[in-house]
Chains A and B, each alone.
Chain A
Amino acid sequence: MGISNLIFALSLVTAIFLFRRNVLKIKRNIFLGRDVNRSDQSFLRWKTMARVALGQTKMMVKPIAGFLHVIVYAGFVIINIEVLEIIIDGLFGTHRVFSFLGVFYDFLIASFEILALLVLLACVLFFIRRNGLRLKRFAAKEVSGWPKTDANLILVFEVLLMGAFLLMQGADLALQKMGTAYYVEAGSYPVSSYLLFLFEGMSESSVILFERFFWWVHILGIFAFLNYLPYSKHLHIVLAFPNTYYSNLKAKGAFTNMDSVTQEVKLMLDPDADPYATPDPDSSDDIQRFGAKDVTDLNWVQLMNAYSCTECGRCTSECPANQTGKLLSPRKIMMDTRDRLETYGAEIDAGDDQENQRPLLDGYISREELWACTTCNACTDACPINIDPLSIILDMRRYLVMEESAAPNELNMVFTNIENNGAPWQFSAADRLKWKDEL
């Protein structure tokens, strides 16, 4: 085992170790959320995942962006087969260890090259679209600053990775043509054969240097990218799958009925219930607040949603409140939830007291945002990976109303009317059938 194999093995182990640590942290953060049972209907869940995450059906609503996205996605997944070969080569000092596959290897390498070129082009187009076209959903306030840098970094990263891959291939091909020992003649190079001119007139040793350089840039880049994921919206390439699997399968209009409330309401309506009875001591330790003030009041699916959000803004650009200039943006709801959860997790790691923290409500999401929602479900329908911003908005309203009695005044009047007259307006319940006299 040479020194380079050792360095490679060390980088690989470090990359996996760091990634694992971050993944575990994210997992812990997600499960800070309340429990929710999504273990039913597994067949339908697999189907939803296959259709929405794998098949990207909801991306296709915008055909051009959708198509480019499928290229990048398919390219990235398939090119990863090549990464497997690179890892084996890197560990054992072999070169193109899969080349024994013969014609099939030619086919593989050729498709990797074509895909790499397509991914590269798609990313360049995405970059231009994002920075040149001033699309409204990429110009919003919540995606300026770091989120914008993040989005561009991802694209630049992918262009660099694909570029390094193709240059490495080109140098390899040049060496194969020179008959350099160790560089077996294998594979087919429909793209990088056009790069051969770069290495013309170079000495064998300089081409080897280039080949090694791009080989290392490519693989170390992948390791770095892997460890960039946990800090980025790019995490969706992993989480889109569980996210769609565990997504809500009920009709979009069906909001959850809170069981804790059901118990209390039943008690209130039960004439035999003893209002002074001491509460069951066994159940006292799981007393939760009603609704959500902070991330830990949300359920784990909502928290996973937050980590999965790609910040694409498709939800926000369909949101009636946002389109008419209100402060509410469902994308911001998801980004705030993730930001808050990450701070929350970091505080746990640092052993700090959560009490001094800014909670999700008021610290990140304002009441004005929450009260602007029409509960129209346009956001949940638009989200390409079935994220549900509306459920978070509703849970926070529940907290405001049931824990703080902090509904807008007009709504408090509505509540009183419903309680007293069985209608949101101040009409007498006895007049409910009056319309029939007007027939």
Chain B
Amino acid sequence: MNYDMNDVKKIHVPTMAELMAKGEQPDVLFWVGCAGSFDDRAKKITKAFVKILNHINYKFAVLGTEESCSGDPAKRAGNEFLFQMQAMANIEVMNAYEVKRIVTTCPHCFNTLKNEYPDLGGHYEVVHHTQLLQSLIDEGRLTVEGGAYKGKKITFHDPCYLGRANEVYDAPRTLIEKLDAELVEMKRCKSKGLCCGAGGAQMFKEPEKGAKDVNIERTEDAIETSAEIIATGCPFCNTMMTDGVKNKEKEEQVKVLDLAEMIAQANDL
């Protein structure tokens, strides 16, 4: 994606510490997640989402260097100790800031913060960025026009931890509709959606012996729809699908984009 480099108007990203010093509270804490903070591809999603929030003057803040891994990969890999250490440290930070509402672009963080933190003392209202974007559109705070996406064939890959794990299927699809694009479903979608292969800490290890990599199998589903864009809502799915498209040598025909990126771009942000 090409953002206009001449756009000198700098976007300010406030941290919780900064707001606290001013005695302010944001409307939402943007939990960036490790991928969104460090991974080059995922950082683009982070930046696109921040641009949208900034564009509508939504009052948000990040934890910055006070954020730490949510613990999801540790937990799914079986390291409950490490998970709980991470969770409790994060909860301590967030409770000190009296965080009430969290938005995140990572379904893994979303799931962990929403479902696994409460037992450990972290009670927050947690939403996925596609849900926040949908509600901002519904409230009329954010307007979206199709722009470059108008009429394009787009398929949505359901992230396991957004879809099956938390039954959020509609928000991302509504966003595709708002882009005036044509949503084409893969043969396996929603609760039957096939995993991209990254979950359960698989992202960080070589796959076990098999006939094929999961992301290739899933990319084939997507290519079968002859969509021009594979929309995702997860930085890990994004990587897996991008690799799959590369492997199939379809980079020219098929793009893999996060919904935040598409909305930012449609709004010329």
Contact = CB atoms under 8 A, between A and B. Distances in A.
B194 A378 contact: yes
Contacts of A291: 78, 80
B31 to A, nearest CB: 12
Interface string B58-70: 0000101101110
B199 interface: yes
- Sort chain B's interface into a size bin: 35 or more
A258 B80 CA distance: 7
A85 B239 CA distance: 65
A432 interface: yes
Contact of B165 (A253, A257, A415, A435): A253
Given A398-B80, A439-B10, A377 B160 contact: yes
Nearest to A403: B78
B165 A377 contact: yes
B119 A257 contact: yes
Contact of A415 (B13, B34, B82, B88): B82
A36 B197 CA distance: 31
Contact of A374 (B11, B15, B36, B200): B200
A141 interface: no
A401 interface: yes
A205 B81 CA distance: 77
Contacts of A376: 160, 164, 195, 199-200
A427 B207 contact: no
Given A328-B208, A410-B206, A423-B34, A433 B77 contact: no
Interface in B44-78: 46-47, 50-51, 62, 64-65, 67-69, 71, 73-78
A254 B69 contact: no
Contact of B65 (A394, A418, A432): A432
A74 B208 CA distance: 43
Interface in A217-276: 250-255, 257-258, 261-262, 264-266, 268-269
17 contacts: A251-B166, A252-B165, A253-B165, A269-B88, A291-B80, A324-B197, A368-B209, A371-B205, A378-B195, A402-B81, A408-B205, A414-B74, A415-B74, A418-B73, A432-B38, A435-B47, A439-B50
The 6 closest A-B pairs by CB, nearest first: A253-B165, A325-B211, A397-B78, A375-B200, A422-B68, A254-B115
